Amino acid sequence: MLQVYDLKKSYGKTQALDGVSLDVSQGEILVVMGPSGCGKSTLIRCVNRLTEPDSGEIFFNGQSVIDMSTQELLQFRRRVGFVFQHFNLIKRLTVKENVMFGLVLSGMDSQEAELKALDALQKVELSDSKDSRPEELSGGQQQRIGIARALALNPEIMLLDEPTASLDPILVGEVLDVMEALARNTRATMVIVTHEVSFALKVADRIILMDHGKIVEEGIPAEIFTQPRSEIGRKYKRLLVA
Ligand SMILES: Nc1ncnc2c1ncn2[C@@H]1O[C@H](COP(=O)(O)OP(=O)(O)OP(=O)(O)O)[C@@H](O)[C@H]1O
Ligand SMILES: [Mg+2]
């Protein structure tokens, strides 16, 4: 469904992506891990060209994302759910309105958008808070709004960039639970960037480890940390036995 070939991106002297290739199939849950600064966000943002890669190719269902016109790119982004590390919610709108916003913007009439928003809020267990403002909710609840907003678009693929990174540890669990339920119940295709090792082992179909802009290790959860070939893989393995 998603293919990335030899993707490269530099910021000045920093090579954020140094030739990354990967293949995500329909319904697959791919988890991307690696130390801070290794290029995970750059990779995931390049997929829908929120960040423009310097070179390489990206295909979505066979269509080149790199070759898309501005108009085609806007349409494509509606098929991709993106959840950010920071919630990017609109303060003056209610929870429900935040989820409806993208739908209405894409031309859906407001009644239909409301039904879709309520459905998405139910999936992240936030129905009771639909009329609250984001700031009245906890960080974990706010991130669940972010996930509902992406879900409401009924995306063909979800890209989640450290959705739990800005949460206090107690709230991390509730967001991980929602993501796990989505992964299991919807069979959506997902690319999830996370530092949560036990979540990755439980939910991923496949895990990719990155370091210095490259993929250094790749495998199924049961095997990836058993005999790691990379330094990063060994570090994660040590974390697990600690
Ligand atoms: N807009 C930017 N301008 C300059 N340098 C950038 C920019 N975005 C990222 N970088 C650099 O590119 C490298 C990769 O950054 P990226 O955000 O992809 O890392 P990451 O793996 O997502 O890290 P983290 O786990 O901390 O989120 C880093 O060295 C970072 O400093
Ligand atoms: Mg990042």
**157, exposed or middle or buried, with CB in 10 Å at 0-12, 13-18, 19+?**
buried
Q: What 3 state SS string does 205-225 have?
A: CEEEEEECCEEEEEECHHHHC
Distance from residue 236's CA to the centre of ligand 2 (Å):
18
**β-strand partners of 20:** 7
Residues of the chain with pLDDT under 70: 242
What pLDDT shows up at residue 242? Answer: 66
Point out the ligand 1 atom lying closest to the alpha carbon of residue 34. 21
Beta bridge partners of 191: 30, 159
Instruction: Specify the pLDDT at position 173.
Output: 86
Query: Cβ of 110: how many Cβ atoms within 10 Å?
Result: 12
Ligand 1 site-directed mutation target among 33, 38, 45, 50, most atoms within 8 Å of CB: 38
Handedness of CA 115, 143, 214, 73 (dihedral sign): positive
Pocket of ligand 1 (CB under 6 A): 11, 14, 16, 34, 36-42, 162
How far apart are the C-alpha atoms of 239 and 234, rounded to whole Å?
9
Task: State residue 214's pLDDT score.
Answer: 97
Tell me, yes or no, if the pTM score tops 0.75. Answer: yes
Q: What is the pLDDT of residue 185?
A: 80
187: number of Cβ within 10 Å: 12
State residue 44's pLDDT score: 95
Enumerate residues 6+ apart whose C-beta is below 8 A from 239. Answer: 197
